[in-house]
Amino acid sequence: MNKRDQLALALDVSNSKEALELVAATIDFVGVFKIGMQLFYAEGPDLVRRIKAQGRQVFLDLKLHDIPNTVASAIDRLAVLEIDYLTVHAGGGPAMLCAAQQAAGSIQLLAVTVLTSMDEHELAAVGVSHPPAEQVHRLAQTATQAGISGLVCSALEAQALRAELGEQVFLVCPGIRPTGSDVGDQKRIATPGQALQDGANLLVVGRPIRSATDPRAAAQMILKAMQ
């Protein structure tokens, strides 16, 4: 896999103008553009088409979680956009995950295990009494058994998941910070080189590129660190 296709830029902005400016600035060094809820709810399918037309992959981070029929129908509609990656919540359970995978066609589904914003207290409040790492492990098993080969995890979990689930699992890691860059609200971070070494297949980077004075140079530097 080309290293550029292993770098995803999180377009966490609120309109197409800003998003397309970032795409234009970084397109030489970024293979995948991630559109989250904020941007998709504001700009919808049109923006997806415009980014696809520039020859790059689109990762829709919508974290779907509903009854199986509703999730499958939603994926069916998104498939028309020829998106490349799509997130679903592993906590939706085996029936939802199987229905999602059946509807996915060529979309690589990515199951989100435990949100990085949740700690043991948050988990306890929703009835999960075991530690976050164990919950990640359980949900990763649930997702892969339902046929979903992609998982979103912190780079610090990548090594264990790779060892446990083997080479066929596709690991997507946010919380990537080049040495010396601002950590922000991320807690479980790794450098680009370390994340790849630990088994990540796709790195998701937002603020280290988006908030840089020169996003193009920042993207180039991260790609270089990956090589």
DSSP 190: B
The least distance separating ligand C5P from the CB of residue 69, rounded to whole angstroms, comes to: 25
Residue identified by tokens 């979309």 is 107
The residue (of 15 and 69) whose beta carbon lies closer to ligand C5P is: 15
8 A C-beta contact, residue 88 and residue 100: yes
Contact of 107 with 79, CB cutoff 8 Å? yes
> Should residue 207 be labelled a site residue for ligand C5P when binding is judged by CB under 6 A?
yes
Q: Does 220 bind ligand C5P (CB under 6 A)?
A: no
Smallest distance, Å, CB 173 to ligand C5P? 9
Q: Which two tokens stand for residue 173?
A: 């890691």
- Interface with ligand C5P in residues 81-140 (CB under 6 A): 115-116
Asked if 62 interacts with ligand C5P (CB under 6 A), we say no
In the complex with ligand C5P, the residue whose CB is nearer, 36 or 91, is 36
Half-sphere exposure (CA, 13 Å, Cβ side) for 165? 27
Q: Which parts of the chain fold into alpha helices (H)?
A: 16-26, 37-52, 68-79, 94-104, 120-125, 132-145, 155-165, 192-197, 207-210, 215-226
Token duo for residue 1? 């896999």
Return d(Cα 222, Cα 125) in angstroms, integer. 38
| Alpha-carbon distances, residue 33 vs 39, 70, 127 (angstroms) | 12, 26, 35
Q: How far is the CB of 89 from ligand C5P (least distance, A)?
A: 11
Give 150 or 174: the residue with its C-beta nearer to ligand C5P: 174
Smaller CB distance to ligand C5P: residue 186 or 220? 186
Assess contact for 87 and 139: CB atoms under 8 A: no
Phi, psi torsion values for 202, nearest 5 degrees: -140, 130
- Using CB under 6 A as the binding rule, the residues of this chain from 133 to 162 that contact ligand C5P are 152
Does the footprint of ligand C5P cover residue 174 (CB under 6 A)?
yes
Looking up tokens 């596709």 gives 170
184 contributes a contact to ligand C5P by CB under 6 A: yes
Residue 63 designated active-site: yes
Residue nearer to ligand C5P on the CB measure, 105 or 184: 184
- Interaction residues for ligand C5P, span 23-52 (CB under 6 A): 36
List residues with catalytic annotation. Answer: 63
Instruction: List contacts with ligand C5P (CB under 6 A).
Output: 10, 12, 36, 115-116, 152, 174-175, 184, 186, 204-207
